[in-house]
Structure 1
Amino acid sequence: MSRGLILGIESSCDETAASVVERGSRTLSSVVASQIATHARFGGVVPELASREHLRAIVPVVRAALAEAGVGFDDLDAIAVTSGPGLAGALLVGISYAKALAFARNLPVIAINHLEGHIHAVLLEERQNAPASTQQDEPALALVVSGGHTHLYLAEPAHEAWHYKLIGRTLDDAAGEAYDKVAKLLGLGYPGGPWIDAIARFGDPKAVPFAFAQIKAKAHLHGKAPRTKAAKTAPIADLDPHFLFSFSGIKTAVLRHVELQGMRAGGDERIAKILAGDRPPKTKEEALALAPQPILDMIASFQHAVVGDLMKKTFAAAESLGATRILVTGGVAANRELRERFAAEAPRRHMRVSFPTPALSTDNAAMIAAAAWPRFVSGEFAASALSAEPSLALGV
């Protein structure tokens, strides 16, 4: 009898990952090769460098995943690979390797949407932590929030598969992208999210009144897709404006505040020390040694406002849909304040909220292999012409 072992491969951005997952519910291995050191000097991901690093890492990462799982190629039942959205060159490395390996081993290839993978990171976590007898899939509102995405989906199980309906999304920057840009403005380390989250705890979250304006429907944008990465999705007019996000405004507000307060990036000797540091501060004393209190307060206020906006629209969408279960996933789901505030608010609204572990929040291949299991059961295999789809959308 087949063990239902699927090798997952993820290479959509700047992590080369491979994982072996059994029947979509048990992770046997998960190996991730990060490129942070490569891109840190540029303050962001350089696509050409990302592709080159994937080429270097893909073979040893897959070998390590198989060794960690204690299985060989002959034990696998299928290979799952991210087909989009993401960087075209990076995606092609993973897809090309998966197709070549599948051809050599006579295995089926399963194409997975990166966003669906993030949703299944939470589902995988739940299945691994709950007895099989108590496992029961039910509809949920999923918030996928990362450096490249901020989306709300209604995820519904149906006949061994999952269906997704897009409920809301960002019109411009993703939440994680705003984190990285604000961190870069202040001279913080890369990636910026963990730095901001670590420093925010030492500031006053109400010191700077950052706010989000209500997004209104615009007649001249009727029928047009949002002006963002991976924008081939439902037009603005098809989505409720109450569930749309926009983070470019708060990024600009931080810039204006920095300018007005004379906190120009690199202009303060203590900020420069943060840039040169190898880890975020862990105590108030360390934080003050790196940045003055007004900067700590501004960082705390920025994070408080972003998390507040994510909470407001996610819970509003859940209530409007009658959903009592919320899944929060993606790189920003590792954020300490976001987890604490979502977890505290959910019981007040008679809802349940679930997160993946921090390791499964960021890009990984276990989520890709887990998302592939329903497709394997239903025989949904990719054609030999499978290629990268950088703007691949999820849901209708």
Structure 2
Amino acid sequence: MKVLGIESSCDETACAIVEDGKKIISNVVATQIPFHQIFKGVVPEIASRKHAEWILPVVRQALKEADMTLADVDAIAATNRPGLMGSLLVGLTFGKTLAWSLNKPFIAINHMLGHMYAAHLENDIEYPYLGLLVSGGHSIIAKVNGFDDLEVLGTTIDDSVGEAFDKVSKFYGLGYPGGVVIDRLAQNGDPKSFSFPVPKLDKGDDHRYDVSFSGLKTAVIHQADMFLKKGYEKTNENICAAFQETACKTILSRLFRAVEDTGLTTVVAGGGVAANSRLRAMLAEHKELNCIFPPLKLCGDNGAMIAGVAYHFLKRGDRSPIDVTAQARIPQFKRGLANLEAFGRR
């Protein structure tokens, strides 16, 4: 089964064709970064307009690189949640219209399920495992029981880790996107130069695996001088290295707690922050764990992860009605199996 997947949840216009949920035949991503850099963040109106301008050329390019026509495609998939409403509607409406006009099956896909599936495209991974989903909008630790069955153990109570990276970068005028810039500058800094605090939450079961980044962000932005160690300079490189180290320690401390409690030793990462070099290195140090990352090209938003996970829905016989719409947010996370509604089963 060859599935054409469309992703337009934020500022990437993407389309890919994937066979049987594994073989990437083509994968085209048109990035809008140059259009948002001046604003140091994504402007929703600009994003949706660029998606409308680029969606047709991107789909045509994906077909061209696959040496296929629309007649060769077996099904269409598109992201419908969560994300920027205007951006989501462009890709979703295009995908539904394409499927309807061709009389082909259509399936709407949760963006988060796509990120969690990305590592499966180049790896054979058995369920269950612990999923670490880290991006600009989400920081989630989950027990992954199946492609559409994520049992959320912990999440952020405020900022996501990617959001914290972007806000720190914006404050210091380092550039956009913040995660990439901070990762690069940190290579020439000393993570021991600042003693930024690791956020501590209530030790009760309600927050056992949850994380918080607003306090760390505030310390780095407004109180950096308080945490500068003697003998070190307050340089952007040092700030980035120390901030990145603390942010990674924060989320990994909760992940390792979940490893201990569940007994699961396979950890699969996904999302844009999964490309962070320090996060990857810190996880690699734990030889007792089987840590699996997507390749860097599949950490950010892409159509391959959407087409890949869509295959499994379609294979099971699932289809989305033509009136399925976009959702900027998904239902509030609750612990346990209540997340099936939010993540996949409709």
AA aligned to 2:129 is: A
SS of alignment partner, residue 68 of structure 2 = coil
Tell me which residue corresponds to 1:156.
145
Q: Measure how far apart 1:77 and its partner are.
A: 1.0
Q: Measure how far apart 1:31 and its partner are.
A: 0.3
Q: Do the aligned residues in 2 keep the contact of 1:23 with 1:370 (CA within 8 Å)?
A: yes
Q: Do the aligned residues in 2 keep the contact of 1:21 with 1:28 (CA within 8 Å)?
A: yes
Q: Measure how far apart 1:257 and its partner are.
A: 3.0
Tell me which residue corresponds to 1:189.
175
Q: Measure how far apart 1:343 and its partner are.
A: 1.1
- Compute the RMSD of aligned alpha carbons: 1.8
CA separation in 2, counterparts of 1:90 and 1:205?
Answer: 37
Q: Do the aligned residues in 2 keep the contact of 1:242 with 1:313 (CA within 8 Å)?
A: yes
Tell me which residue corresponds to 2:8.
11
Tell me which residue corresponds to 2:277.
336
CA separation in 2, counterparts of 1:74 and 1:294?
Answer: 56
Structure 2 residue corresponding to 1:122, chosen from 115, 119, 122: 119
Structure 1 residue corresponding to 2:130, chosen from 141, 153, 160: 141
AA aligned to 1:344 is: E
CA separation in 2, counterparts of 1:35 and 1:213?
Answer: 33
**Larger Rg computed on CA atoms:** 1
Q: Do the aligned residues in 2 keep the contact of 1:334 with 1:358 (CA within 8 Å)?
A: yes
Q: Do the aligned residues in 1 keep the contact of 2:129 with 2:267 (CA within 8 Å)?
A: yes
Tell me which residue corresponds to 2:343.
none
Q: Measure how far apart 1:390 and its partner are.
A: 1.0
Tell me which residue corresponds to 1:242.
208
Q: Measure how far apart 1:73 and its partner are.
A: 0.6
Asked if residue 106 in structure 1 is aligned to residue 103 in structure 2, the reply is: yes
CA separation in 1, counterparts of 2:16 and 2:98?
Answer: 15
CA separation in 2, counterparts of 1:261 and 1:248?
Answer: 16
Asked if residue 252 in structure 1 is aligned to residue 193 in structure 2, the reply is: no
Q: Measure how far apart 1:260 and its partner are.
A: 6.4
Tell me which residue corresponds to 1:282.
none
Structure 1 residue corresponding to 2:319, chosen from 348, 369, 381: 381
Tell me which residue corresponds to 2:159.
173
CA separation in 1, counterparts of 2:63 and 2:129?
Answer: 33
Post-superposition Cα deviations, 1:85-142, rounded to whole Å, max 9, x if no partner, equal: 0011100001100011011100111111100000110111214xxxxxxxx6221111
Tell me which residue corresponds to 2:242.
301
Q: Do the aligned residues in 2 keep the contact of 1:214 with 1:242 (CA within 8 Å)?
A: no
Q: Measure how far apart 1:311 and its partner are.
A: 1.3
SS of alignment partner, residue 253 of structure 1 = helix
Identity of aligned residues (%): 43
CA separation in 2, counterparts of 1:166 and 1:261?
Answer: 34
AA aligned to 1:190 is: Y
Asked if residue 199 in structure 1 is aligned to residue 195 in structure 2, the reply is: no
What residue ranges of structure 1 are gaps of 5+ in the alignment?
Answer: 128-135, 219-238, 263-291
CA separation of 1:258/1:315 partners in 2, compared to 1, >3 Å: closer, same or farther? closer
AA aligned to 2:143 is: L
- The aligned length equals 330
CA separation of 1:208/1:258 partners in 2, compared to 1, >3 Å: closer, same or farther? closer
What residue ranges of structure 2 are gaps of 5+ in the alignment?
Answer: 334-338, 341-346
Tell me which residue corresponds to 2:53.
56
